[in-house]
Amino acid sequence: MLIESVPNVSEGRRPEVLDTLEASVRHTPGAFLLHRTADVDHHRSVFTMAGSQKAILDAVLALVGAAVRLIDLRAHEGEHPCVGAVDVIPFVPLGDVPMDVCIETARTAGARIAREFAVPVFLYESAASAPHRRRLELIRRGGLAALADRMRQREWAPDFGPARPHPTAGVTVVGARRPLIAFNVNLDTTRLDVARSAAAAVRESSGGLRAVKAIGVTLASRRLVQVSMNLTDYTVTPLDRAFSAVRQEAARHGVEVLESELIGLVPEDAISGIDPVTIGLKGVGEGQVLERRLRTEVEKWKSGKVEK
């Protein structure tokens, strides 16, 4: 029984820090690091890993320990919303693993993160302790300062840990969910208003596409703007439909799509039958498809090429 976890870390500019975080996962017996993505503008990195319940829990705790030691959120400036050095840690069932196993893992991880690192933890999605905490964007609304104010209220006390943010690591949001796709579409303009308009047009919360979350951000290093999306159920809104909706809204403003990008890994059935070029991707390599990447790592382990 394998569980996937995809910690999002508020660091995307110091390779030496990211290398240390990666090593913490690779040195965990039974855990497989499948992918790492970093972005300097978002100032954020995504680590995709898989393993047994025990191995994935050990790997996540090792990564959190390194991140709390090396990342100071007080000096953090990036385009992506965040409330913690390790901002969010979802646990995702693979194969026939029941969601209840991931919920149990999330709650165990949350309790241990609070106990071992004094970082307050909120549970979200399927692991949420109350309906108003289920959606990640509601927990992060207003940023860390606003969340710190809400934490003084009984209904916003953290699920684990102190009722105030860690001085350098903030808070961490831990949960259990189904697979999602992080999909960004880059527009050939510097006009942030166009990206925000396109994001509003596609996201479900403002009347757009079902199972889509989206924000518009500036990529200063590339002199572009971006519509950054999460497709929370790609069987409801697939990649090609989300891409087409962004392109159509951008065209209304006389702006063309330049390219798109996947952050982390994509489930095999989400890309099957879609020509990557038609959604702005140069291609989808073997290393970007979840099932193929996992098979590769497991085969390497079985052959003795990877010590675990």
Catalytic residue among 80, 132, 166, 253: 80
Q: Are 83 and 147 in contact (CB under 8 A)?
A: yes
| Residues pairing with 61 in the sheet | none
> Angle at which helices 15-26 and 53-70 pack, to 10 degrees?
150
Active site includes 27?
A: no
> Angle at which helices 99-117 and 53-70 pack, to 10 degrees?
30
Order the strands of the 181-187 sheet from edge to edge.
212-219, 224-231, 181-187, 257-263
Residue with tokens 């518009």: 216
CA-nearest of 91, 88, 95 to 31 is 91
| Residues pairing with 176 in the sheet | 91, 125
CB atoms within 10 A of CB 47: 27
Question: Which residues carry out catalysis?
Answer: 80
